[in-house]
Amino acid sequence: MANHKSSLKRIRSNETKRLVNKYQHKTTRNAIKKLRELTDKTEAETLLPSVSSMLDKLAKKNIIHANKAANLKSGLAKHIASLA
């Protein structure tokens, strides 16, 4: 167990940040799944900007790697382009 006040505070703040990051990451993954399940092109096109924004925010905060965010966005754009 930590002995210093600052290290105790760091433990508390790390746990809070971990939970926030976990929530944001899970929410984004659910949005991606929802987008991939859509078959209507217009509905998917309206949802894509919000999902892309979520991915960009995760990459900016280093929750996911920037290249992974770009790869996911690219794959989603290809998926939407393939819809009829």
In-domain check, residue 3: no
Q: 36-70, pLDDT tens digit by residue?
A: 999 999 999 999 999 999 999 999 999 999 999 99
Band (pLDDT 50/70/90 cuts) for residue 2 is: confident
Which domain, by its residues, includes 68? 54-84
**Triad 46, 47, 52: Cα angle to 5°:** 115
Give residue 84's pLDDT: 75
In-domain check, residue 79: yes
Helix axes 41-60 and 66-82, enclosed angle (nearest 10): 180
> In angstroms, rounded to a whole number, what is the distance separating the alpha carbons of residues 32 and 26?
10
Distances (CA, A) of 64 to 1, 9, 22, 50, 70: 30, 25, 11, 17, 10
In-domain check, residue 80: yes
In-domain check, residue 39: no
The count of domains in the chain is 1
In-domain check, residue 11: no
Percent of the chain whose predicted confidence (pLDDT) is above 70: 100
Percent of the chain whose predicted confidence (pLDDT) is above 90: 95
3-class state of residue 57 by DSSP: helix
In-domain check, residue 18: no
In-domain check, residue 62: yes
